[in-house]
Each structure stands twice: as structure tokens, then as C-alpha cells.
Amino acid sequence: MRALLDIFLPRHCPVSGRPLLTDEPGPVAPEVLRALEVCGSDYCARCGAPQGAGVGRVGSCDSCRDATDGFGADGITAVGRYTEPMRGLCKAMKFGNARDIALPLAAFLAQMLLDRGVAAGVDVVVPLPLHVLRHFERGCNQAELIARPLARALNKPLLSRALRRARGTDRQARLSPLQRRRNVENAFVARPRLAPRLAGRHVLLVDDVLTTGATFAAAATALRQAGAASVHGAVAARAALDDDR
């Protein structure tokens, strides 16, 4: 059946563009996943950035030295840097309607959270929400695409609607940089109905890419305001400010 489908409806790797063979289930060409540099035991505990071989676990790094509040999180786990092929994977997940790409990324994150001893302390998994209009436009929230299989792999409850974007954050373009920071500070609120499920809980906050961390920090703050005991971040990629988005 698959062989027939591949003749009439050839599948292509959304990252490399090459046709996938009948015995390649996808969602991406295996060489793309093999080329992914998954962070091992050398990493920054604060921002998740992979570090040089032999450095081990560090408390802060060059790329997060100014983020003394730790992005509102107690630590962040990132699969890797926002370089190819990770960039291609994230873009395909966001814009290419290639939802299954989230599965290997969630699998890597689950393994890392288990290896780093974070998973055991997690009570609930919360994806960072998209603005409702953006969500409608894209048809899905890439953070939730990762969070859902990640929660399943860790056997933790998923609270996909715990946070919502507050109004007024979609006019960022007209604001000065300082106003933007202030604007994003209150960009999220916890839904009152679900707040009791956050109170006193250790939350794993999931997003696709962490760059400045301003949006992430705003979401973490909203979780803490709802009574979350701790927030740990799980992201596919840790991007540097000068990375091409």
C-alpha cells in the first residue's frame, strides 16, 4: 500500500526536499535526523545552550550572562542550537504543516529530561500558547505539537489551555523596545478555571525556540502568579540573538 502511495503521492522530506523512499517512514529523511547535533552532557543549566566538549554542566554561559532572572525558569533543557538542520526542522514544523517533525524532537527532550533528573520532579506539562489569531492562521501551535508527545513520553498530564495570551500584545511593532519588554511582561495569564491545577505544582513549560527569552519569561511569570511551585523550560532549540530566524 505504501509503495503504491509513494508512486502516486510521493512524500518529500520537508527539510532536505528529497523524496522519501518506501521503507523510510519519515517524517524527515533519516540523514537529516542523523545530522542533528543533540546536546549531551555539556550544557548550560540556565538557558540550555550546548557547551564545548568536556565543559560539563555550567550554571550560566556567554549567551545568557545578562539573563540573571534565568528567563523566569529554574532551568532550561534544549535539544540543540538553532543551526541547520534544527532550523529547518523548526521552520518546517511552524510553517510547513509537517506536524510529525515534533515527534523526534519530543523524544530527544524526553530522554534528556530523564537523563538530567528533571523529569521525575515534573507534575504538569504546559505549552507556550500562540496568540489566537496566529494559531488560527497556522492551524496549530508548534509548542503544543512538541508538548503533547513529550507529556505522553514522560507520563505527565498535559495542560494545553493553562495559559492564554492576554489582549494587546499583537501591536508590538508600534512600540519602543522598552515598551515591548513591558508589554510582553503581562502577555500571558493563567486561565482561572485551570489555575488550581497549577498551584503548588512543578511545571514543564514547552516552546519551540528560545531566543531572547522575553516571551518565555512572561509565560513563566504567569505560571508562578497562578501558584506554580517551579517552572522548568523544555525547548527544541536555543537560538543566539544573531541567529537568522
Which positions touch Zn ion (CB under 5 A)? 44, 46-47, 49, 61, 64
Closest distance of CB 76 from Zn ion, Å: 8
Helix (H/G/I), strand (E/B), else coil: 232? strand
Burial (0-12, 13-18, 19+ Cβ within 10 Å), 225: middle
Minimal distance, residue 116 CB to Zn ion, in Å? 15
Cis peptide before 157 (omega within 30 of 0): no
> Is the Cβ of residue 129 or residue 233 nearer to Zn ion in the bound state?
233
- Closer residue to Zn ion, CB minimum distance, 24 or 42: 42
CB of 44 to Zn ion, least distance (A): 3
**C-beta of 126: minimal distance to Zn ion in Å?**
22
Cell of residue 227, nine digits: 501558584
Nearer to Zn ion, 76 or 106 (CB): 76
Read off the amino acid at residue 50.
P
In the chain, which residue ranges form alpha helices assigned H by DSSP?
A: 2-8, 30-35, 86-95, 102-115, 132-138, 142-154, 177-185, 214-225
Reading the block at residue 184, the C-alpha cell is 510582553
Closest to Zn ion by CB, 104 or 233: 233
Smallest distance from Zn ion to CB 47, Å: 3
49 vs 124, which CB is nearer to Zn ion? Answer: 49
Kindly state the cell numbers that stand for 14.
520537508
Distance in Å, CB of 59 to Zn ion, minimum: 8
For residue 200, give every residue at least 6 positions away whose Cβ sits within 8 Å of its Cβ, in sequence order, or none: 227, 228, 229
Crossing angle between the packed helical segments 177-185 and 214-225, to the nearest 10 degrees: 30
Residue 93 or 112: which CB sits closer to Zn ion?
Answer: 112
* Calpha distance 218→223 (Å, rounded): 9
